[in-house]
Amino acid sequence: MTNYNKTSTTLFAFKGMQEIKKLKSELNEHRYYLERNVARRTEQLTRRIELLESCNTTLCGKLASYKKDLAELQTSEKEPGDSPVKLYVLNTDVQRAEAA
């Protein structure tokens, strides 16, 4: 009977070790896919950030240029009776609605 217990215990331990190896393998596979997905997403976000920063820089430059042009228009010599220049940017849909 003692021999049966040793064999049973050894068999149980062997099955437990196989299960642990299987779980470790599965964990490593999930870790690999997770790391790959995180790296991809980080790369996508980095590209988007660079694009947005570039657009922001361009738009800020244009805004500064427009402000400078507007200031020059407002400070240019005015003839008596001239009113200040006002610039409006309207949505084309608003302009169409007003024209109709």
pTM above 0.75, yes or no: no
φ and ψ at residue 87, rounded to 5 degrees = -110, 135
Q: Is 59 left (phi over 0), alpha (psi -120 to 50) or beta?
A: alpha
pLDDT surpassing 70 at residue 6: no
The residue type at 20: I
Residue ranges covered by each domain of the chain: 2-99
**Which residue in the block uniquely carries the two structure tokens 């302009």?**
95
Residue with the bigger pLDDT between 37 and 4: it is 37
pLDDT at 1: 44
* Residue pLDDT, tens place only, 27-86: 999 999 999 999 999 999 999 999 999 999 999 999 999 999 888 888 875 665 666 555
Distances, alpha carbon 23 to alpha carbons 9, 13, 16, in Å: 21, 15, 11
